Structure 1
């Protein structure tokens, strides 16, 4: 997609967002817009698939009505194939564009001039269709993947409008807006829909502030994590994210290799869990290729029977609270360390959980607050065990401050491997000063990302940027991993010529004395005391 096409798409999407702006919070209208985009995708995918089946019969799926000869035979055959291949089924009259056209009623194409009195009432039909998508999967392999996907789209919410007619008009307007966008699903080289979805998630994240951390990792950070865990790999058997949010990290890994056989993720927040499943399907991941579960990862891990995983990425909630229940000391994920992460800071609990799930030939990259590098007590004990006993830590990368939504704190990436090619040292990279400031947010550009990745993959020591620290050096620092201990970024101040400064001061004092005399003369002329 060209830059011009991309800008046009983003403008169209933002026009849709503005239709609901002011009626509800960004994280609320996000659920409606992304839900309708998902419904549009399912419709278009269904129509393309059905038309392909019907090609030999020389009819189009959309043209099948109750009056069509053998209509039920056609629909039953398509449904059977669709449930097997796509995982769901929609009838011709349930297609997005059909519903959008009915809703538009007698209004003109210009949605800005929509008159609610001219729209047709579609809310009840639309609610039934969204329910029918889920019902069509009942008893099939895809049932769990489509279960309650549209539950956050309450079409009767008064936030959409005080009356059913007002709500109907706003929904009809959104559908008409969306219907005009061609997602080019026939062109497998383009991912217009995926780009649109990611763009909107990013926009909503920036508007949702602190809440955004629950569901979105900035794309440039996702790109770094994905490139790190795919180092030296062209195909992956599996990739896992224990705090997957909207699934953007998992999907970013998909872009870095030729093939990922299976995606695994877990997410605690119900709405975000729905977003993740939609996001996987929208990006062309077959329902049999992903397993996203909803539960608290630390308290109730869901993929113990699916591990180990070849690549693991995560951006867990920073310093979150967890139970630190003493029973976990006998849990295989934590038992070997001898200590649990503190209840007030679950950072290392996530690290331990992920390491337990990591394959022997796998790579794991996790975003964490800087505190994990130097905090003492139980965290020092775990840190020391990971380095001294296991030698799993491969690299520590310091990122700039203010690159995450909702927090301005600087963060770091820790990279772990169970079988390290370079077991005698740990690479430290200080990329905290490499960024571009855009409005209130710091942004990592492609050059910044490439520098980090090239330095990691080549394990290059660069003055004031990276350092290869021996295990002995780290032990001498008592396993404190604070990056400035290993990467000296100190810039010497320019030497000051004291004699030159004194001469300049004397010259200024002489000038001031002359100026005082001149002013005193003016005062005398005016008969004033200076």
Structure 2
């Protein structure tokens, strides 16, 4: 039997949405059911083959076994199926969620309990559809892949609001491949649905040794409660332990003492001003007080403050951060550059994000490779159009291996693409950071030659094939 196209599976779920429920709420209805089925199926399969470890404490029981979610009997998926067409199916699902939270402290308060009162025919159809899902016959390896795919489609469908809970997959992969998290503490201060933390965790599983894998600690914070819940479920589905806190990382930092080895983050691109007057004397502003009209310079210094002495960080920012000088922006940027913190700037193509077609950029900070040079990469012309409005960045290996070569050995400047520039020369440009200022221009007739000259290693060739497979799932 041929595998069901992922688009067909999404269409089947989307068509079941009742007119009485908004798309933003339907997202939580669907993703909650996917989580429930996956957690139940995984628990039942594991309980048949392994001995579950039960640890009793004075106040409650904690169940641990390879980061699995413990599913009490009343929350088993089989009970949901039996009640699929019962008038009280919504209450049955809510009760199942409550039962799971009662036994699993790490996801307590995160599961959606919104099913009571919803259209019972819609819920019954969704339950039956998911019950018939054989993940070996869909273009996904596991239900967590379904969860991630649906997150991306909901983000794309919701448009401007999409970037609030989901960073496009190709952007996340680029950041992960460049900073290469492999040990210690991983942190995302505005984690959304935890897509960056998930991909960082998967990278670690592929590349880190056993000892480093066991010592990895995941930290995150998210402002929006419903998105925080999505993040908690996402980590649980991928069997990744993490401390994801609820709240605004700038005003109510829940990880004040954290010194992270790797930081990956993408603050919302459509939010600019903030109530910075209450943070004027904050200890995080080591490079200058952020302007009240631009929250991005607060996030930049928040990241620098939480970076360990040998830490590496990547952050997605608006292009304006590379050049605006007003309201003290230029001085903050100058201080960061002169301190040797800034390591690399990548200008990204437009139409990567759901909230805006405007291009963004990636800043990489490194306390591990503190140098007197900055690498500039101009990737504005890279990628391919997924449809008329959205672009996918599929040149990740070329960019990542260029940065890796610059950090280690074998790097060469490529006109029109990359340039290593001294801080002294950056100062002559008034500390402006747009890569086009430094990489130079090439003859349009040489563009193909330039692309073929990009450093392609065996590693990057493997990644090219891997990326193509992931995008076509």
* TM-score (structure 1 length as normaliser): 0.74
Conservation of the 8 A alpha-carbon contact between 1:310 and 1:363: yes
- Partners of 1:97 and 1:179 within 8 A in 2: no
Give CA deviations for 1:436-489 in whole Å, capped at 9, x if unaligned. 12322343353x111111211113311111111111110111111122211223
Pairwise mapping of residues 228-267 of structure 1 onto structure 2 (< 5 A)? 228-230=178-180, 235-257=182-204, 258=208, 259=213, 261-267=216-222
| Contact in 1 for aligned 2:372/2:423 (Cα 8 Å) | yes
Q: 1:442 to 1:87 in 2, by over 3 A?
A: closer
Report the counterpart of residue 45 of structure 2 in structure 1: 48
Contact 2:71 2:100 in 1 (8 A): yes
Match of 1:155 in 2: 115
In structure 2, the partner of 1:456 is: 403
2:164 is matched with which residue: 191, 214, 227? Answer: 214
Is contact 2:61-2:103 (8 Å) kept? no
Aligned to 1:187: none
Query: Hey, what does 2:77 align to over in structure 1?
Result: 96
Q: Does 1:425 align with 2:373?
A: yes
* 1:231-275 residue CA offsets vs partner (Å, 9 max, x unmatched): xx6x31111000100000111112222337111000000100000
Structure with max Cα Rg:
1
Match of 1:82 in 2: 63
Q: Structure 1 residues 435, 8: CA separation in 2 closer, same or farther (over 3 Å shift)? A: closer
The match for 1:484 is 436
**After superposition, where does 1:100-499 map in structure 2 within 5 Å?**
100-104=81-85, 119=86, 121-137=88-104, 142=105, 145-151=106-112, 153-157=113-117, 160=118, 167-183=119-135, 191-230=141-180, 235-257=182-204, 258=208, 259=213, 261-285=216-240, 289-305=241-257, 307-318=258-269, 319-325=271-277, 327-329=279-281, 331-334=282-285, 336-337=286-287, 339-377=288-326, 378-388=328-338, 390-420=339-369, 423-446=371-394, 448-459=395-406, 460-489=412-441, 491=443
CA distance in 1, matches of 2:43, 2:7: 25
User: SS in structure 2 opposite 1:82?
Assistant: strand
Give the counterpart of 1:30 among 17, 27, 30: 27
- Give structure 2 stretches of 5+ with no counterpart: 55-59, 407-411, 446-473
Distance, in Å, in 2 between the alignment partners of 1:226 and 1:44 is: 30
Q: Give me the whole-angstrom Cα distance separating, in 2, the residues matched to 1:429 and 1:395.
A: 8
Q: Give me the TM-score of the superposition, normalised by structure 2.
A: 0.83
Q: 1:181 to 1:206 in 2, by over 3 A?
A: same
Instruction: Extract structure 1 runs of 4+ deviating beyond 6 A.
Output: none
Pairwise CA RMSD: 2.6
Q: Figure out how many residues of one structure are paired with residues of the other and give that number.
A: 422
- The alpha-carbon deviation at position 297 of structure 1 amounts to 0.7
Greater relative contact order (Cα < 8 A, sep 6+): 2
Kept in 2, the 8 Å contact 1:333–1:352? The answer is yes
Partner of 2:9: 12
Structure 2 Cα separation of the partners of residues 290 and 26 of structure 1: 28
